[in-house]
Amino acid sequence: MNEGVLNDSSPRAFCAFRADARLYGIDVACLREISANTTITPVPRAPPVIRGLANLRSRIFLILDLRALLGLPPAPCTADSRLIILKPTVAEDMGLLADRGGDILTALPDRIASVDAALPMSDAPSADQARSLVVGMCKLENELMMIIDAVRLADTVARATTNTEVIR
């Protein structure tokens, strides 16, 4: 999966952020910006992975809840929370709400391994979903960073939305 991207020989840059204690990363090539302004308008009746809408310089972004995507229980926004906004080429007007982080770090390809579905994860209902999002692992100094495929992320949400029968 995504061999072409993961097996390049030059160092790769990731935007690293956390959900709960775990560290996740998204290729900076997929990134538009990182924002600390986490004023989010909730969208009632939307599936839980949709956290709400945020206004960044007069553009409205659909914000996904990273925790919900990974099957973690929801948590309120804090001063550490960050919006990871994706490039329009990856997903139109879309971003991710992470618990904290947002730093850029680089890693050489030999520290990165692609993963397949057998990754042990939580047993939460959307564990399958979460597993399908993580496409690689990156070995850092003292922990592992899970690499999330942003394109797949957008697809997952699109599916989640269209499959949600609006409950009367």
Partner 1 sequence: MSQDPGFAHRFVAEAREHLAAMASAMLALERNQRGSPQPLIEELLRAAHSIKGGAGFTGRRNIEQLAHGFEQAIENIRDGSIDRTAEVVDTLLAVLDRIATLVDDVDRSDESDISEPLARMRPLTTAGTSPHGPPVQTRDEPPPGAASLATATPTTTEGEFKITEQLRKAWPDDRGFLYGVKLDWSQCERQFGLPPMIVAERIERAGRVLDSRTQVAGPALRDGPPRPPFWYLAIVSSSVALDAFTGELDISCATVVQLGQKPGVASEKDRPPAAEAPRPRGAATATSLRVSVPLVDRMMALAGELVLVRNQALRSADPANSPLRRLLRRLDSVTNELQDAALRMRTQPVGTLFDRFPRVVRDLARQLGKQIDVRITGAEVELDKTILELLSDPLTHLIRNCCDHGIEMPERRVESGKPPGGRIGLSARQERGQIVIEINDDGRGIDAEAIRRTAIEQGLKRGDELDRMSDRQLFGLILLSGFSTAKRLTDLSGRGVGMDVVKTNLDQIGGVVEIDSVAGRGSTFTLRLPLTLAIMPCLLVQTDGQCYGVPQRDVEEILLLDARVARRRIERSHDGEVLRWRGRLLPVVRIRDVLGRQTFDASEAVTGEAATASTGYAAVVRLGSRRFVLAFDEVVGSENIVVKPLHPLLRPLGIYAATTILGDGGVALILSGEGVARHVGILDKAVGDGVEALPGAASDTREESVLLFRCGPEELLGVHMRAVRRVVMIAPDRITRIGARELVNVDGAATNVIRIDHVLNVSACRDADRLFLLLSSDRDRHVGLLVSEIVDTPTLALQLDARAYRADGVLGSAMIRGQIALFLDLDRIVRIWEQVNQPGLLALPDGKAAAGRILVVDDTRFFQKLVAEHLRGARYEVTVADNGSAALARLREERPDLVVCDIEMPVMDGHAFARAVRVDPSIARTPLVALTTLNTPESRAAAAQSGFDAYEVKLDRQTLLATVDRLLNRARASGELAGAQSHE
Q: How far is the CB of 168 from partner 1 (least distance, A)?
A: 7
Q: How far is the CB of 79 from partner 1 (least distance, A)?
A: 13
Of the two residues 19 and 112, which places its CB atom closer to partner 1 in the complex?
19
Q: How far is the CB of 8 from partner 1 (least distance, A)?
A: 31
Residue 76 binds to partner 1 (criterion: CB under 8 A)? yes
Q: How far apart are CA 131 and CA 126, in angstroms?
A: 9
Residue with tokens 């993963």: 115
What residues from 11 to 70 belong to the interface with partner 1 (CB under 8 A)? 39, 41-46, 48, 50-55, 58, 60, 62, 65
Among 4, 9, 21, 74, binds partner 1 (CB under 8 A): 74
Q: How far is the CB of 71 from partner 1 (least distance, A)?
A: 15
Residue 162 binds to partner 1 (criterion: CB under 8 A)? yes
Of the two residues 118 and 166, which places its CB atom closer to partner 1 in the complex?
166
Residue 93 binds to partner 1 (criterion: CB under 8 A)? yes
String of DSSP letters for the chain: --HHHHT-SS-EEEEEEEETTEEEEEEGGGEEEEE-----B--TTS-TTEEEEEEETTEEEEEEEHHHHTTPPP----TT-EEEEEPTTTSTTEEEEESEEEEEEEE-GGGEEE--TT-----STTHHHHHHHEEEEEE-SSSEEEEE-HHHHHHHHHHHHHH-PPP-
Please report, as ranges, the residues that interact with partner 1 according to CB under 8 A. 39, 41-46, 48, 50-55, 58, 60, 62, 65, 74-77, 92-94, 157-158, 161-162, 164, 166-168
